[in-house]
Each structure stands twice: as structure tokens, then as C-alpha cells.
Amino acid sequence: MSISMEESEWSQPKKRAEFRLLFEDKKTKITSWRFEPGAETGWHHHNYDYVTIQKSGGRLKLENEDGAVKFIDYEIDKTDGYFAPITHNATNVSKEEVRVIEIEYKI
């Protein structure tokens, strides 16, 4: 992933979201994310534009470094795109597991 996790005390999550690298080459990186209820990524920075493909229901809370908060209601196969740079924390605020595929464009 093109993210860098910060290890400061304030950024430590209660539960870490799990991720698995599915594919990577010079131009693309594909990662599968799984968030148990309450799990979060921790504060991290995206260096590359990316798209997501939602693979479950549920709800994520995205907190941006500027203090903005956004909630995303998940639906199977719904997609979204994001432009780098982005620094944020993602937390599963639903009572069900949230799953998402992230595709980063390293160009």
C-alpha cells in the first residue's frame, strides 16, 4: 500500500482493520481490507489516487486531517474514487463487518 502508518499514541486504534495485498506491479496496487465492528486503519497518508469497490454492507467513518468527518454507507459493488494526497483514519461504525477492495494507481 502507498500509505504510511503513524505510530504516535493518539493514532493507535482500539482494533486494527486487516488488509491483504492481492496484486502489485509498477503501476497498480490492489489491497483487500476487512474491518470488524469498531476496527480502524489508524491515521495514514495516501500518496496515490485510488478507487474502492465495496464488498459488503456497513458504514465507515472517515476522519480527515483538516477535521472534516464523512460517513460512507456501504453497498455491495458500489464504487468510489479518491484523489491523493489524503491523510485520514477510517473506522467501522456499524455492527457488521465491512469489506472493501482498494485499487491504487502508482502513476
Stretches in the chain below the pLDDT threshold 70: 1-13
pLDDT digits (tens, 9 = 90+) for 17-30: 999 999 999 999 99
Query: Residues 50, 98: contact at Cβ < 8 Å?
Result: no
- pLDDT for position 9: 45
pTM for the whole structure: 0.84
Task: Tell me how far apart the alpha carbons of residues 40 and 107 are, in angstroms, rounded to a whole number.
Answer: 27
pLDDT of residue 13: 44
CB 5 within 8 A of CB 16: no
